[in-house]
Amino acid sequence: MNSKNKIKEIAINTIKEEARTIGQLADYIDDDFAEVVELILESRGRVVVTGIGKSANIANKIVATLNSTGTPSMFMHAADAIHGDLGMIRPDDIIICISKSGNTPEIKVLAPLIKNLGNVLVGMVAGLDSFLAKQSDYVLKAVVDKEACPNNLAPTNSTTAQLVIGDALAVALLECRQFSSQDFAKFHPGGALGKKLYLRVSDLLVKQSAPQVKLNDDIRTVILEISSKRMGAAAVISDENKLSGIITDGDLRRMMQQYEDVKPLKAKDIMSVSPKTIAEDELAINAFHLMEKNSITQLVVCKDGEYLGLVHLHDILKEGIV
């Protein structure tokens, strides 16, 4: 039975072996790679990525990455392609065919068919002298000298290399398109990732329930306002609705420790001046980071010095973006 140390050693060696392979890929980024990027940028069609076996799994991931970063793409299984799915290809589409060896039976059938259709064929391949490499108009070189598998059989280094070349292609296209975080948000509206990119403080703000007191309000009024609005704080505002300070639960506790008689006190006597503020059009995730940095749970939302409301840490956590 293998020891835990032996198991950990195997895992570490596998990671190191794949890292070595990835490091060598930089030597194979050449003019073909750059020209493929330029072709895709200029194309009016889609990128169709195909493969078989484990390469098909990698093709699916590359398609997902391209689609989410502004390059319209679709997956076509190499086996299904030669049984009818070639019909999905349009004249302007660019075809990327992924194969480690470049010599599998399905690829040998598929590559000439794509060429006959007149589409640009890009081979992503380790075997640079293979059938696929020779048939392709351009070659993306996902070169590996061996697999991490001790039998040199299970696709490990080779699929990692394909994945990395696919990511390099996607990022090159993304940067050349000047694809911004706002563009990214358009394609990722759901889930925590999307919310980080589009959810703003104004989306969390309920202005009609904004806790607030005036400078000369008494302590009972302050306590009732904080308690009724359930945000753990209330803004202190002037008669012109300008922000003067904030009173939190903590300020009330410190007041009780400091004063024997609190009846004569006014809001202005116990408020914290210069509270942390944020604009309503700021991203909610930025509000979270500001709270985290300052170890606070509320931020005052203002516009041109005018008080709009409070945003609470719980409002952000409830959205699931952190």
162 shares its domain with 205: no
24 shares its domain with 146: yes
pLDDT mean over 142-158: 92
112 contacts 136 by C-beta, under 8 angstroms = no
The residue among 135, 171, 164 whose CA lies nearest residue 28 is 164
Task: Give the least confident one: 17-21, 24-28, 213-217, 302-306.
Answer: 302-306
The residue among 54, 289, 84, 4 whose CA lies nearest residue 158 is 54
The residue among 144, 41, 156, 37 whose CA lies nearest residue 101 is 144
174 shares its domain with 206: no
Residue 240, pLDDT > 60, answer: yes
What is the C-alpha separation between 141 and 161, in angstroms, rounded? 9
List, for residues 177-211, the tens digit of each pLDDT value. 887 666 666 665 555 566 676 788 988 887 667 89
What is the C-alpha separation between 113 and 87, in angstroms, rounded? 11
171 shares its domain with 230: no
Q: For residue 124, what are the β-bridge partners?
A: 98, 140
Higher per-residue confidence, 186 vs 68: 68
Task: Give Cα separations from 315 to 174, 204, 225, 281, 307 (angstroms).
Answer: 33, 7, 19, 16, 18
pLDDT at residue 75, as a whole number: 96
130 shares its domain with 68: yes
70 shares its domain with 131: yes
pLDDT at residue 317, as a whole number: 85
Higher per-residue confidence, 107 vs 317: 107
Backbone angles phi, psi at 167, to 5 degrees: -65, -40
What is the C-alpha separation between 28 and 147, in angstroms, rounded? 18
Total tally of structural domains belonging to the chain: 2
The domain containing residue 303 runs over which residues? 201-318
Residue 108, pLDDT > 70, answer: yes
Q: Within the chain, where are the H helices?
A: 4-25, 31-42, 54-68, 78-81, 105-117, 131-135, 157-176, 181-187, 191-198, 201-204, 219-229, 249-258, 267-270, 284-294, 313-318
In a domain, 227, yes or no: yes
Identify the domain boundary among 129, 146, 179.
179
The residue among 118, 124, 39, 45 whose CA lies nearest residue 78 is 124
Higher per-residue confidence, 248 vs 206: 248
pLDDT mean over 155-171: 96
Which DSSP letter does residue 137 get? S
214 shares its domain with 100: no
pLDDT at residue 153, as a whole number: 86
In a domain, 165, yes or no: yes
In a domain, 196, yes or no: no
Percent of the chain whose pLDDT exceeds 90 = 63
211 shares its domain with 175: no
What is the C-alpha separation between 215 and 244, in angstroms, rounded? 8
Give me the CATH number covering residue 239.
3.10.580.10
Q: Largest Cα–Cα distance in the chain?
A: 92
What is the C-alpha separation between 158 and 122, in angstroms, rounded? 17
Bridge-based pairing state of the strands 306-312 and 298-303 = antiparallel
pLDDT at residue 195, as a whole number: 67
147 shares its domain with 266: no
Percent of the chain whose pLDDT exceeds 70 = 93
Give me the CATH number covering residue 9.
3.40.50.10490
What is the C-alpha separation between 307 and 302, in angstroms, rounded? 5
171 shares its domain with 220: no
Residue 50, pLDDT > 80, answer: yes
172 shares its domain with 208: no
Only one residue has tokens 């997902």, namely 64
Answer yes or no: is 83 a known binding residue: no
Identify the domain boundary among 145, 179, 213.
179
